[in-house]
Structure 1
Amino acid sequence: MAHYYPELAARVARQAEELPELYGDFDFEATPERFTTDPDDRSALPSRLGDRAKYLDNPRLMELVHTATFLADVPADRVAALSSRYPVSELIDLVRRVCREGADNVPEAPSEIGELIELMQQKPDWIDYDMIEDGAAYSRTYAALVSPFMTRGAFLATFTNSYAALPMTLTGALSGTRAARRVNETTAYFAVTALPGGLDRFSPGFEATVMVRLMHSMVRYNALQRSRGNSRRRTWDTAVYGLPVPQIDQFPAGMIGPYQKSEKAVRAGRELPYDERAMVEFHRYRAHMLGLPEELLPGTAQDIVDLFNARAATLKYGFDDSCRKLVTSTMDAYLRPSDSAYDKAADAVEKSYSKLAFAAAFCEGDLRRAADMGVHLSPLDVARAAATAPFLTSRFAAVRIAGKLPVLDGFADRYVTDLVRRRLDDYGIPEYTTDSREYAH
Structure 2
Amino acid sequence: MVVSAAPSRFAADRAWSARAAAPLRWTAGPGARPGPAEVDALRRGLLRRDEVAAALVRAVREDRTVSMREVHAALAAGGAGPDAPAPLRDFFAAVAQRPDWVDDDLLARGAEACRTFGHDAGLVLTHGSLLGGYRTAAALEPLARTGRLTGEETLRRIGETTAWWRAVTAPAGLEPGAEGHRLALHVRVMHGFVNHHLEQDPTWEWDLRGVPINQYDQASTLGVFSTSFLLHLRLLGVRVPRRDAAAVMHLWSYVGWLMGVDEEWLPRTERRGRRLLYHFLSHDPPPDENSRTLAAALIDMVDLAPYGPLRRRWERERALSVSTWLLGPAAMRDLGLPVRAPWYGVWRVAANLGWTQVVGRLPGGRLRLLVRADRHHRRQERAWHGEAAPGIGAIPA
Give the TM-score band, short-chain normalised: 0.7 to 0.9
1:174 aligns with 149
SS of structure 2 residue aligned to 1:298: coil
Out of 180, 192, 195, the residue aligned to residue 217 of structure 1 is: 192
Compared CA separation, residues 378 and 310, structure 1 to 2 (3 A): closer
Count matched residues. Answer: 382
Out of 272, 288, 293, the residue aligned to residue 320 of structure 1 is: 288
Superposed CA RMSD in Å reads 3.8
SS of structure 2 residue aligned to 1:50: helix
Q: How far did 1:277 drift?
A: 0.9
Out of 73, 85, 92, the residue aligned to residue 97 of structure 1 is: 73
The Cα offsets for residues 8-36 of structure 1, whole Å up to 9 and x where unpaired, read as: xxxxxxxxxxxxxxxxx322x22110223
Supply the distance in 1 between the matched residues of 2:251 and 2:314 (Cα, whole angstroms): 30
Structure 2 residue runs of 5 or longer lacking an equivalent are: 235-239
Structure 1 residue runs of 5 or longer lacking an equivalent are: 1-24, 228-233, 266-270, 437-441
2:329 aligns with 365
AA of the residue aligned to 1:80 = V
2:306 aligns with 339
Supply the distance in 2 between the matched residues of 1:398 and 1:169 (Cα, whole angstroms): 39
2:237 aligns with none
Q: How far did 1:59 drift?
A: 2.2
Out of 133, 138, 156, the residue aligned to residue 108 of structure 2 is: 133
The Cα offsets for residues 304-341 of structure 1, whole Å up to 9 and x where unpaired, read as: 211111111222x33232322222123212497x6255
The Cα offsets for residues 281-304 of structure 1, whole Å up to 9 and x where unpaired, read as: 111111111111221113333322
Supply the distance in 2 between the matched residues of 1:348 and 1:211 (Cα, whole angstroms): 37
Out of 223, 229, 237, the residue aligned to residue 205 of structure 2 is: 237
Q: Does 2:258 correspond to 1:283?
A: no
User: In 1, are the aligned partners of 2:219 and 2:261 still within 8 Å (CA)?
Assistant: yes
Counterpart mapping for 1:117-196 below 5 A? 117-142=92-117, 144-153=118-127, 154-196=129-171
Supply the distance in 2 between the matched residues of 1:150 and 1:333 (Cα, whole angstroms): 16
Q: How far did 1:39 drift?
A: 5.9
Counterpart mapping for 1:252-271 below 5 A? 252-260=220-228, 261=230
Compared CA separation, residues 57 and 325, structure 1 to 2 (3 A): closer
Compared CA separation, residues 84 and 370, structure 1 to 2 (3 A): same
Q: With the length of structure 2 as denominator, give the TM-score of the two structures.
A: 0.80
Supply the distance in 2 between the matched residues of 1:46 and 1:121 (Cα, whole angstroms): 37
Q: How far did 1:58 drift?
A: 1.3
AA of the residue aligned to 2:77 = E
User: In 2, are the aligned partners of 1:259 and 1:304 still within 8 Å (CA)?
Assistant: yes
Q: Does 2:91 correspond to 1:116?
A: yes
Q: How far did 1:72 drift?
A: 1.0
Compared CA separation, residues 79 and 43, structure 1 to 2 (3 A): farther
Q: With the length of structure 1 as denominator, give the TM-score of the two structures.
A: 0.73
Supply the distance in 1 between the matched residues of 2:40 and 2:277 (Cα, whole angstroms): 14
Counterpart mapping for 1:32-111 below 5 A? 32-36=7-11, 45-50=20-25, 58-81=35-58, 84=61, 91=68, 94-103=70-79, 107=83, 110-111=85-86
User: In 2, are the aligned partners of 1:263 and 1:301 still within 8 Å (CA)?
Assistant: no
Aligned sequence identity (%): 19
